[in-house]
Amino acid sequence: MDTCPRCRFTEGSITLPAGYQEQTVNIIIAPDAPALNISRDQLVEGEDLARYLTRQKDLLKKGLRDWQLLAEQPATLGDNLLPGMILHSRYRPKKGQQVCQYQAVFLLDEKKH
């Protein structure tokens, strides 16, 4: 039996070679609605959700012009299956522009995937 993880996507799937990990980004667009970005990340050794969120907020503040956290609240993914957090923030990529975004963050049990 093959124990290597598979990376699945719209066009098919591939088996990941030993030592590889998936960090796929999916961008889903509609003609008249905001885009939906789905990304995957890895925790630093010993990191929990709270520490991960702190690290990500620090990266966003350093990397995005005038980044500001507007709200942070608990969220649930699926039918009350997976707890997480939602961050509502904004930043200004250029003078006169403003981008608002919601980010939902959930920790997946890698053993189940």
Give domain 6-112's CATH number out of 3.40.1000.10, 3.20.20.70, 3.40.50.360, 3.30.830.10. Answer: 3.40.1000.10
- Dist. CA 12–CA 19, nearest whole Å: 21
Q: Taking the model in full, what pTM does it have?
A: 0.75
> Per residue in 27-54, pLDDT tens?
889 999 888 888 888 889 999 999 999 9
> Per residue in 46-103, pLDDT tens?
999 999 999 999 999 999 999 999 999 999 988 878 899 999 999 999 999 999 999 9
Question: Which of 22, 44, 26, 24 has its CA nearest to residue 35?
Answer: 26
Chain mean position to CA 65 = 20
Hey, what's the torsion of the CAs at 102, 84, 22, 13, to 10 degrees?
Answer: -90
Grouping H, G, I as helix, E, B as strand and the rest as coil, residue 86 is strand
